[in-house]
């Protein structure tokens, strides 16, 4: 394992595992800041994963695939928005319904379009390409650090920056946060609360869409039923874990990806005797541990501050 | 084994009606999970679909979903509807449910796969020698990693196994595979990893990449559903090799998937119903299908002939013979 | 003078069936300060929300500058240069003052918002109108008075010419109120028009030009301030004579119930001292009023006594028993009643029913059930009794407290805390935002509790309230008890005012105890 | 008088919502099926008319009622736990251990013992995130989501490595539970098991707990307004932990009910999402224990109906699931309720305005 850390392949794996959770969490972040908890990330990611590989391979363009995936995810988000904002369905119920819907709708479409219930592997698939940076690529350490990563890896870093700027430096971001924090205040200033919340859910769709597209057209080039395998829920946890801000979420996602990289490393270690169920617990135990340590420290600084004065 | 060619096996009242062409045979398949698993269920489904095509059976496939709470009810409602001449189910999780139902509905005929159920006059069961099949796959993998003819092989004597979940049935695949590899060369090391689910293709791919790149593995056998598909992709990208599972997956990534360990649920079900139709199927017994009956085996299609060197193929044949004759016995 | 605004025959039925306005007619002239008064729940806020586009009327018309207009959303109101300062703060706590002020119409630099311009603009407004506040401070940390300023600045920033102020002074100190009035007069002089809602008739008399009285969702009348008086207004509002001055007999103080010695405490965030060596005593049968500009340690004093505040120094003895380290539950069980200053959050649970609100901290008593179970019938009977005795206007004891008017919610709190016949009653701002009828009632009940032998510690920012209720008066300034005086007839508001502002310090206070 | 009227309005709204959602379901079925009548019959009618199906619905309700109640208790207390799934597994585990390995007891002893073990297992497993939240303010959404995974993997680990029945075949399970611990059919020939009675009893107990006891009053006040509760002397942290533990115990009971009822053994991965279904069930019932019986019935009805439709018509499973999710959305549509209720209210108010 140390060898892998030294030769930086560990780093490459980490970066490959990062985008789905990071993008999913950013989607969750923007909806959450608009005052709508998004339980439906999982379902949105599935819808986009299916659409992007499907459209991508049909059109032969990964860009078209990714855009279509985002669009599909946005459409389902709009459906969710309609039910929560217009029909006043409890937002959590709506989120779960989106997950159920996404899981079933993708399989249904797959069986109609490709006569398969389990997976769709296009004959000549398109892939979101890797970015090879000339010159830098050949520099020993730097090359491995910077070159050869998937476009989506860079895009997800950009997305962090984007969300940061959006939330903290644009009028829209202020409106969004105001709506999430004090909707009545926003409304009294002529901000259309409902419209902002619609848009928040759309953002959720956009980023969940990117995350889903990466699963099927970046990490692999296939769609498999339920291929998100709980990533959406992890993303939800990361939103809260990351303190509901883009930078915190970046670190939260890195932690998760790191734990997953660790799982993969242990799983592929020769003569590994640890039962795989215990290995699989690593990310979750790490998260609970970090959460606890963080909370305990915060609690004790609260106490210390109170005591010190 | 007792492959009932004796006509005395004819029993049950419904069978006599079937000879006539007026009422088509009605077959129901209950799947305690979902289609698209790249395993039993898809294979069973393929078998049932073939009944429709080849002798116009009226077929119905019911997916029970993954909540185990629903399964007993799902199967019973198929049985109690009385619509089916034959109800097919399988897997160890369903065996007790089926035994219970078979006792309560003595007029319903059942075909059960993957677990031996004996002594019930209305149940025919079929099991597969998957361990032997995996043994052969292991031997094959060992030959591949030692091969000098295959471009993607390296000198390291390390091969890989990827399982969907760390559960008995998958570990049976693994155990056979390891034994097969050791049979070829005691020094062969097998790296085993588990995905944790049968649907996580990206993780299957990551585990594949890690085994290939970090552990110098050059061929992996996957019993991991969609996880295996992910691994195939990794193998393809790196120019290494893979072995498919359950159904013939050689065409999924031609040239990369050198062969597949078959578990022929599809053929076995078709064969059983076909014999039932002819009045030849004997109930109350279970059959184990091995290489000879086509129950298990390696997928030896054109791609196999094209991509696998002659020497390896020859050795495989030899080992298969030894397995059939009992010269090799498994733990 | 022509009417700037006219609202004709406004009806409003809320979706739950409440008829808040039933044919209100109301008009405002250009350049006047128009006071809108009425009991809690009379429909004042509803009428103004309709004018501001926050609620749609079920019926009725609005004319503005002679034209019939439709108000659908606050956006329309802002377009017509109407601004509103709401009864409850409409601020985003995590935003800075400047961000709150420009929210919804931010200065931009390209696609981004221009923080610098926002700050500059805010500072310019602050200078121009003399409403001092730190434009880069986070709103969550501002005092209520400053928050109120931010609300007014928000309205001014949007260029409103007609400004609605819904009970802006309910949470302000007298000084802050004076400053606010000063600003309002300046605004009117420069051509603004103001609608002003308040329950304080002094304010009505001192600032308004005309007065409209609402009762039960209908217009009673509109008066010229110069030609009326407080008694008339209150009679019109309540429909009967209201005693504007508390009637009480001299106190008959007995044994000391609460004894505080050398109490000091610091703010847990900033570490600044908030209480400095405070010592006082309250005897049974007397009311000790604590006057002071808000934020001078009153809150901390109450929190320390009632068990919310931990980690103070000094001693608090209740019937000679130290309270330090006791849980809130234990403290309440000893016989200490507490009317908290914040009824919306702490004093009442708005989503719980009236009857559930009335048994808080008493639900473990035998009267309300045996062993582990609650006795529904007893609880209901108890609620009905209190509703009757305290004249709580509610549809039933099962109604959620949140759908009662503010005054009635306060009556629930008072009823609950007095019902248990506390030996010590801590009353913090007991009549804030409450209409005059209810004020009269609550004051009477507090005096009655005193006469029945309770020791009362009254904390209020309302000097009039302190003067009229208390037997003795203490003044907190900057965490220090700067005066402790007997409330004799020759004590004037001015004198207490000096102590409150820290201009004067009473050296005899130890003697006066 | 007033509360009764409110209930009436709610029922009126509910009926309207159900009707609207049925219309949607019917439209979808008509669009996709070539035998819509058969499909609708199988989906909507047969589950109610066929005794076997109806009995199965009642069985299917059992885990949903328990996880629904588990969620109701925490949500009423203002704790946003999503941990019912993991607690279900741990309760099933401890219950199963008692049910399988304790021998020679009478049913009257054995079953209560199993239940106690399940309560302890589920309760203790929920205690951890509870204490993390109460003492350190660690967010319970994150911790309970993580604890779900930990619980499920832990049970799977034990099943595959420690307590596996040698005869379990390809998928691990424990040995079958002792007959003395098994819950059987209430009436021969009708599939509903005694576990259904336990579910009803649990709903009643939780109802009494929440609405008729001091503890319930405390929990609900903490949920509605913690500042108010604190001011009234209620120990907030204790209430949070208590609500988590009660919730875990209920979820754990639900798991044990599956083990000694429907399934007869603890199976690896025996639930996929029963705990999450509990969230939907509870929210549909606005976290009211008695309402949970109704919403769990509705949900089980849809599940059984969906299966039945798949078996009895050309509508595929996935479509049945989609219809199910749409029905859930419509039934939980507050706007539909509010619209129907407000029309009444406005008519009432409006009439008085005019007079
Ligand atoms: N959103 C609402 N939904 C239902 N009823 C409401 C709503 N807002 C106010 N009400 C009811 O309408 C009536 C009038 O309320 P309104 O806020 O206009 O009173 P008010 O005169 O401003 O009282 P206060 O002096 O307490 O502020 C009250 O009975 C109140 O309970
Ligand atoms: N959605 C609602 N349903 C029922 N009543 C409401 C609703 N919203 C507000 N009210 C009630 O309407 C009344 C008026 O509301 P508003 O927000 O104007 O302040 P208030 O509570 O009356 O303020 P104050 O405490 O100063 O009297 C309040 O008593 C409030 O409880
Ligand atoms: Mg090799
Ligand atoms: Mg008001």
Domain ranges of chain C: 3-238, 255-347+421-509
Q: Does position A216 have pLDDT exceeding 90, yes or no? A: yes
- Confidence at residue C512, expressed as pLDDT on a 0 to 100 scale: 41
10 Å CB burial of residue A11 (0-12, 13-18, 19+) is middle
Task: Report yes or no on D13 lying in a domain.
Answer: no
Task: Report yes or no on D71 lying in a domain.
Answer: yes
- What is the best residue among C7, C16, C19, C20 to mutate for testing ligand 1's pocket, by most ligand atoms within 8 Å of CB? C20
Cβ(A273)–Cβ(B191) below 8 Å: no
Q: Which ligand is nearest to the CA of B145?
A: 3
1.10.3720.10, 3.40.630.30, 3.40.50.300, 3.10.450.40: CATH of C3-238: 3.40.50.300
For ligand 2, is residue C403 a contact (CB within 6 Å)?
yes
Average pLDDT for A178-187? 94
A247 touches B: beta carbon within 8 Å: no
Q: Does position C465 have pLDDT exceeding 50, yes or no? A: yes
Write down the mean pLDDT value for chain A: 91
| Residue located nearest, by CA, to atom 2 of ligand 2 | C403
Weakest mean pLDDT among B314-323, C170-179, C286-295: C170-179
Contacts by A79-88, CB closer than 8 A, 24 or more apart: A80/A40, A80/A201, A81/A197, A81/A198, A81/A201, A81/A202, A83/D329, A83/D333, A84/A36, A84/A201, A85/A194, A85/A197, A85/A198, A86/D335, A87/D329, A87/D330, A87/D333, A87/D334, A87/D335, A87/D336, A88/D333, A88/D334, A88/D335, A88/D338
Distance from C-alpha of C29 to C-alpha of D194, rounded to nearest angstrom: 76
Distance from C-alpha of D269 to C-alpha of D258, rounded to nearest angstrom: 12
Residues of D whose CB is below 8 A from A296: 136
Instruction: Specify the fold of C255-347+421-509.
Output: Rossmann fold (3.40.50)
Contacts of D325 (CB under 8 A, 6+ apart): A97, A98, A100, A101, A104
**Residue D245 banded pLDDT, cuts 50, 70, 90:** very high
Contact exists between C and B (3 or more beta carbon pairs < 8 Å): no
Can you say whether residue C255 is alpha, beta or left, with left for phi > 0 and alpha for psi between -120 and 50 degrees? beta
**Residue D5 banded pLDDT, cuts 50, 70, 90:** very low
Ion ligand 3 nearby residues (CB, 5 A): B 145, 153-154, 156, 218
Average pLDDT for C139-160? 88
Average pLDDT for B48-76? 91
Q: Does position C90 have pLDDT exceeding 60, yes or no? A: yes
Rg (CA), chain A: 20
Write down the mean pLDDT value for chain C: 88
Contacts of B318 (CB under 8 A, 6+ apart): none
Residues of C whose CB is below 8 A from A174: 95, 99, 103, 106, 113
Instruction: Locate C385 and state its tokens.
Output: 């009794």
How many whole angstroms from C459 Cα to the centroid of ligand 4? 24
Average pLDDT for C12-17? 84
Distance from C-alpha of C70 to C-alpha of C79, rounded to nearest angstrom: 12
Please give the helix or strand (H or E) that residue C338 lies within, else none: strand C336-339
How many whole angstroms from B225 Cα to the centroid of ligand 2? 59
- Confidence at residue B245, expressed as pLDDT on a 0 to 100 scale: 94
Weakest mean pLDDT among C212-221, D186-195, D333-342: D333-342
A304: closest chain C residue by CA: C268
Greater pLDDT, C104 or A135: C104
Contacts of B285 (CB under 8 A, 6+ apart): B2, B4, B118, B124, B125
- Beta-bridge partner residues of B86: B27, B109
The answer to whether the CB atoms of D272 and B66 lie below 8 A apart is yes
How confident is the model over C280-308, as pLDDT tens digits? Answer: 999 999 999 999 887 888 989 999 999 88
Cα angle, residue C31 at apex, residues C30 and C36 outer, rounded to 5°: 85
Rg (CA), chain C: 24
For ligand 1, is residue C18 a contact (CB within 6 Å)?
yes
Task: Report yes or no on D261 lying in a domain.
Answer: yes
Task: Report yes or no on D87 lying in a domain.
Answer: yes
C144 touches A: beta carbon within 8 Å: no
B158-163 vs B109-113, strand pairing mode:
unpaired
The answer to whether the CB atoms of C73 and A192 lie below 8 A apart is yes
Residues of A whose CB is below 8 A from B191: 268-270
The answer to whether the CB atoms of C90 and A190 lie below 8 A apart is no
ipTM of the complex: 0.90
> Which range of residues forms the domain containing residue D253?
49-313
Average pLDDT for C133-153? 88
How confident is the model over B237-286, as pLDDT tens digits? Answer: 999 999 999 999 999 999 999 999 999 999 999 999 999 999 999 999 99
Distance from C-alpha of D324 to C-alpha of D328, rounded to nearest angstrom: 6
Q: Does position B152 have pLDDT exceeding 70, yes or no? A: yes
Task: Report yes or no on D9 lying in a domain.
Answer: no
The answer to whether the CB atoms of A276 and B233 lie below 8 A apart is no
Helix, strand counts (H, E) of chain A:
14, 4
For ligand 1, is residue C168 a contact (CB within 6 Å)?
no
How confident is the model over B170-226, as pLDDT tens digits? Answer: 999 999 999 999 999 999 999 999 999 999 999 999 999 999 999 999 999 999 999
Report the candidate in D219, B164, B251, A49 with the shortest Cα–Cα distance to residue C374: D219
**Chains A, B: CB contacts under 8 A, how many?**
101
Q: Does position C477 have pLDDT exceeding 70, yes or no? A: yes
Q: Does position D239 have pLDDT exceeding 90, yes or no? A: yes
A264 touches B: beta carbon within 8 Å: yes
The answer to whether the CB atoms of D311 and B68 lie below 8 A apart is no
A157 touches D: beta carbon within 8 Å: no
Residues of A whose CB is below 8 A from C73: 190, 192
Out of A170, A186, A309, name the one closest to residue C268 (CB).
A309
- Confidence at residue B51, expressed as pLDDT on a 0 to 100 scale: 94
Distance from C-alpha of B194 to C-alpha of A276, rounded to nearest angstrom: 6
Distance from C-alpha of C218 to C-alpha of C22, rounded to nearest angstrom: 6
Cα angle, residue B47 at apex, residues B43 and B48 outer, rounded to 5°: 120
Distance from C-alpha of B115 to C-alpha of B122, rounded to nearest angstrom: 15
How confident is the model over B292-309, as pLDDT tens digits? Answer: 888 899 999 999 999 999
The answer to whether the CB atoms of D225 and C399 lie below 8 A apart is no
Q: How close is the nearest chain A Cα to the Cα of D332, in Å?
A: 5
- Confidence at residue D184, expressed as pLDDT on a 0 to 100 scale: 92
How many whole angstroms from B137 Cα to the centroid of ligand 3? 15
Q: Does position B16 have pLDDT exceeding 60, yes or no? A: no
| Residue located nearest, by CA, to atom 20 of ligand 2 | C406
Cβ(C156)–Cβ(C118) below 8 Å: no
Q: 């234990």: which residue's tokens?
A: C330
Out of A184, A192, A306, name the one closest to residue C268 (CB).
A306
| DSSP code at position C226 | G
How confident is the model over D174-188, as pLDDT tens digits? Answer: 999 999 999 999 988
Cβ(B141)–Cβ(B219) below 8 Å: yes
The CATH number covering residue D215 comes to 1.10.3470
Distance from C-alpha of C389 to C-alpha of D258, rounded to nearest angstrom: 54
Computed from CA positions of residues D180, D186, D188, D191, in that sequence, does the dihedral angle turn out positive or negative? negative
Contacts of C127 (CB under 8 A, 6+ apart): none
Out of A105, A107, A296, name the one closest to residue D136 (CB).
A296
- Name the H helices within B12-150: 14-18, 40-55, 71-80, 92-104, 130-146
- Beta-bridge partner residues of C194: C33, C163
Instruction: Show which of residues 52-81 on chain B sit within 8 Å of chain D, judged by CB atoms.
Output: 60, 62-70, 72-74, 76-78, 80-81
Out of D160, D283, D322, name the one closest to residue A90 (CB).
D283
- Confidence at residue A304, expressed as pLDDT on a 0 to 100 scale: 63
Distance from C-alpha of D316 to C-alpha of C296, rounded to nearest angstrom: 71
Contacts of D58 (CB under 8 A, 6+ apart): D192, D196, D297, D300
Chain D residues near any Cβ of chain B (below 8 Å): 52-53, 56, 59-60, 63, 156, 160, 164, 168-173, 191, 258, 262-264, 267-274, 303-304, 307-308, 310-312, 317
- Give the neighbours of chain B: at least 3 Cβ pairs within 8 Å: A, D
């Amino acid at each position: 394992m140390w060898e892998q850390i030294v030769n930086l392949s560990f780093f490459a794996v980490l970066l490959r595992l990062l985008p789905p959770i990071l993008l999913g969490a950013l989607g969750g972040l923007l909806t959450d800041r608009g005052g709508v908890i998004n339980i439906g990330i999982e379902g949105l990611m599935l819808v986009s994963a299916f659409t992007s590989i499907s459209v991508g391979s049909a059109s032969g363009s990964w860009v078209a695939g990714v855009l279509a995936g985002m669009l599909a995810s946005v459409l389902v988000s709009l459906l969710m928005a309609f039910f929560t904002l217009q029909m006043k369905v409890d937002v959590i119920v709506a989120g779960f319904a989106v997950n159920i819907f996404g899981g079933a709708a993708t399989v249904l479409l797959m069986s109609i379009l490709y006569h398969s219930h389990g997976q769709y592997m296009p004959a000549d698939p398109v892939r979101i390409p890797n970015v090879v940076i000339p010159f830098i690529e050949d520099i020993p350490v730097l090359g491995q650090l910077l070159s050869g990563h998937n476009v989506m890896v860079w895009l997800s870093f950009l997305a962090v920056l984007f969300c940061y700027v959006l939330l903290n430096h644009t009028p829209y971001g202020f409106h969004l946060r105001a709506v999430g924090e004090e909707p009545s205040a926003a409304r009294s200033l002529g901000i259309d609360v409902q419209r902002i919340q619609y848009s928040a859910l759309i953002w959720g769709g956009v980023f969940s869409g990117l995350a889903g597209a990466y699963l099927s057209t970046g990490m692999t080039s296939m769609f498999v039923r339920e291929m998100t395998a709980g990533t959406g829920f992890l993303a939800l946890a990361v939103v809260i874990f990351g303190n509901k801000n883009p930078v915190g979420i970046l670190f939260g996602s890195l932690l998760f990806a790191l734990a997953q990289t660790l799982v993969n490393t242990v799983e592929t270690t020769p003569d590994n005797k640890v039962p795989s169920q215990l290995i699989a617990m690593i990310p979750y135990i790490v998260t609970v541990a970090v959460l606890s340590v963080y909370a305990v420290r915060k609690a004790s600084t609260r106490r210390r501050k109170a005591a010190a004065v | 084994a007792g492959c009932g060619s004796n006509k005395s096996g004819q029993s049950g009242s419904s069978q006599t009606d079937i000879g006539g062409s007026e009422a088509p045979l009605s077959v129901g398949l209950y799947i305690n999970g979902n289609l698209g698993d790249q395993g039993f269920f898809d294979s069973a489904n393929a078998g049932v679909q073939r009944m429709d095509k080849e002798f116009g059976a009226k077929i119905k496939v019911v997916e029970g979903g993954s909540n185990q709470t629903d399964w007993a009810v799902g199967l019973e409602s198929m049985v109690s509807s009385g619509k089916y001449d034959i109800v097919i189910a399988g897997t160890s999780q369903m065996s007790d449910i089926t035994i219970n139902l078979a006792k309560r509905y003595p007029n319903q005929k059942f075909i059960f796969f993957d677990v031996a159920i004996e002594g019930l006059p209305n149940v025919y069961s079929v099991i597969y020698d998957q361990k032997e099949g995996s043994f052969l796959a292991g031997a094959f993998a060992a030959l591949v990693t030692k091969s000098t003819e295959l471009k993607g092989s390296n000198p390291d004597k390390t091969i890989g196994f990827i399982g969907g979940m760390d559960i008995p049935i998958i570990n049976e695949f693994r155990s056979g595979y390891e034994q097969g590899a050791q049979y070829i060369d005691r020094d062969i090391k097998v790296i085993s990893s588990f995905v944790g689910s049968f649907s996580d293709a990206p993780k299957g791919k990551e585990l594949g990449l890690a085994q290939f790149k970090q552990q110098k593995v050059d061929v992996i056998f996957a019993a991991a559903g969609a996880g295996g598909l992910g691994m195939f992709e990794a193998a393809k990208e790196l120019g290494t090799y893979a072995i498919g599972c359950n159904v013939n997956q050689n065409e999924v990534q031609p040239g990369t998937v050198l062969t597949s360990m078959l578990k022929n649920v599809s053929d076995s079900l078709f064969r059983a119903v076909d014999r039932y139709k002819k009045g030849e199927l004997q109930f109350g017994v279970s059959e184990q299908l091995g290489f000879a009956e086509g129950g298990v085996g390696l997928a030896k299609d054109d791609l196999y002939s094209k991509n696998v060197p002659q020497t390896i193929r020859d050795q495989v044949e030899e080992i298969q013979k030894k397995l059939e004759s009992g010269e090799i016995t498994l733990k | 003078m022509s009417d700037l605004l006219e609202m004709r025959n406004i009806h409003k039925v809320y979706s739950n069936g409440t008829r808040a306005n039933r044919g209100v007619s109301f008009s405002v002239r250009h350049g006047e300060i128009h006071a809108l008064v009425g009991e809690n729940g009379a429909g004042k806020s509803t009428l103004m929300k309709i004018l501001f586009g926050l609620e749609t009327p079920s019926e009725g018309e609005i004319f503005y500058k002679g034209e019939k207009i439709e108000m659908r959303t606050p956006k329309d109101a802002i377009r017509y240069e109407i601004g509103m300062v709401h009864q409850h703060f409409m601020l985003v706590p995590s935003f800075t003052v400047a961000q709150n002020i420009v929210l919804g119409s931010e200065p931009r630099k390209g696609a981004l918002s221009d923080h610098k311009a926002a700050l500059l603009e805010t500072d310019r407004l602050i200078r121009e109108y003399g409403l001092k506040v730190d434009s880069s401070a986070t709103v969550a940390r501002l005092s209520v008075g400053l928050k109120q300023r931010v609300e007014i600045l928000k309205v001014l920033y949007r260029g409103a010419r007609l400004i609605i102020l819904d009970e802006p002074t309910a949470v302000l100190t007298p000084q802050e109120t004076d400053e606010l009035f000063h600003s309002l007069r300046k605004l009117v002089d420069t051509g603004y028009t103001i609608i002003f809602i308040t329950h304080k008739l002094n304010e009505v008399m001192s600032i308004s030009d005309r007065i409209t009285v609402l009762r039960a969702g209908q217009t009673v009348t509109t008066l010229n301030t110069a030609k009326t008086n407080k008694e008339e207004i209150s009679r019109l509002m309540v429909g009967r004579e209201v005693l504007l001055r508390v009637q009480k007999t001299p106190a008959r103080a007995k044994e000391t119930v609460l004894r505080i010695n050398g109490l000091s405490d610091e703010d847990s965030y900033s570490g600044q001292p908030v209480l400095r060596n405070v010592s006082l005593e309250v005897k049974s049968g007397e009311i000790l009023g604590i006057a002071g500009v808000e934020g001078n340690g009153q809150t901390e004093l109450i929190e320390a006594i009632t068990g919310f505040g931990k980690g103070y120094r000094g001693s608090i003895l209740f019937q000679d028993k130290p309270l330090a380290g006791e849980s809130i539950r234990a403290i309440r069980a000893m016989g200490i009643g507490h009317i908290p200053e914040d009824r919306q959050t702490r004093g009442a649970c708005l989503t719980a029913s009236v009857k559930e609100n009335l048994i808080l901290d008493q639900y473990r008593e035998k009267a309300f059930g045996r062993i582990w179970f609650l006795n529904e019938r007893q609880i209901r009977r108890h609620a009905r009794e209190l509703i009757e005795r305290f004249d709580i206007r509610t549809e039933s004891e099962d109604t959620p407290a949140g759908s009662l008017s503010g005054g009635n919610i306060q009556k629930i709190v008072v009823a609950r805390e007095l019902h248990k016949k506390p030996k010590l009653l801590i009353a913090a701002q007991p009549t804030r935002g409450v209409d005059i009828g209810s004020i009269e009632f609550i004051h009477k009940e507090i005096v009655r509790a005193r006469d029945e032998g309770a020791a009362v510690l009254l904390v209020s920012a309302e000097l009039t309230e302190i003067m009229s209720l208390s037997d003795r008066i203490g003044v907190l300034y900057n965490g220090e008890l700067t005066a402790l005086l007997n409330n004799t007839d020759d004590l004037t508001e001015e004198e207490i005012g000096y102590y409150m502002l820290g201009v004067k310090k009473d050296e005899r206070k130890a003697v006066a105890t | 008088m007033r509360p009764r009227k409110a209930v009436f309005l709610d029922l009126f709204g509910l009926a309207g919502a159900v009707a609207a959602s049925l219309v949607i379901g019917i439209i979808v079925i008509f669009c996709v099926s070539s035998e819509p009548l058969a499909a609708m019959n199988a989906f909507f009618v047969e589950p109610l008319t066929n005794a076997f199906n109806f009995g199965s619905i009642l069985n299917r309700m059992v885990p949903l009622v328990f996880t629904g109640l588990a969620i109701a208790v925490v949500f009423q207390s203002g704790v946003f736990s999503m941990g019912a799934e993991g607690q279900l597994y741990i309760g099933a585990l401890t219950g199963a251990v008692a049910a399988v390995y304790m021998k020679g007891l009478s049913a009257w002893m054995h079953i209560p013992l199993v239940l106690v073990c399940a309560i302890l297992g589920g309760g203790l497993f929920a205690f951890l995130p509870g204490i993390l939240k109460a003492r350190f303010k660690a967010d319970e959404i994150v911790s309970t989501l993580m604890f779900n995974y930990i619980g499920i993997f832990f049970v799977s680990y034990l099943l595959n490595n420690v307590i596996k029945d040698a005869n379990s075949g390809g998928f691990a399970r424990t040995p079958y539970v002792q007959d003395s611990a098994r819950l059987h059919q209430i009436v021969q020939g009708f599939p509903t098991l005694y576990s259904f009675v336990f579910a009803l009893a649990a709903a009643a107990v939780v109802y009494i707990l929440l609405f008729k006891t001091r503890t319930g009053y405390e929990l609900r006040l903490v949920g509605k307004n913690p500042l108010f509760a604190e001011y009234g002397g209620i120990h907030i942290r204790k209430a949070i932990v208590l609500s988590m533990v009660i919730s875990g115990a209920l979820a754990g009971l639900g798991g044990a009910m599956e083990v000694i009822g429907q399934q007869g053994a603890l199976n690896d991965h025996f639930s996929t999402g029963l705990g999450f279904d509990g969230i939907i069930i509870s929210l549909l019932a606005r976290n009211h224990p008695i309402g949970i019986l109704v919403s769990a019935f509705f949900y089980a009805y849809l599940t059984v109906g969906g299966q039945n439709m798949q078996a009895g018509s050309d509508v595929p499973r996935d479509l049945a699931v989609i219809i199910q999710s749409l029905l859930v959305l419509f039934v939980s549509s507050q706007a539909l309720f509010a619209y129907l209720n407000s029309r009444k209210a406005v008519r009432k108010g409006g009439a008085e305005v005019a007079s």
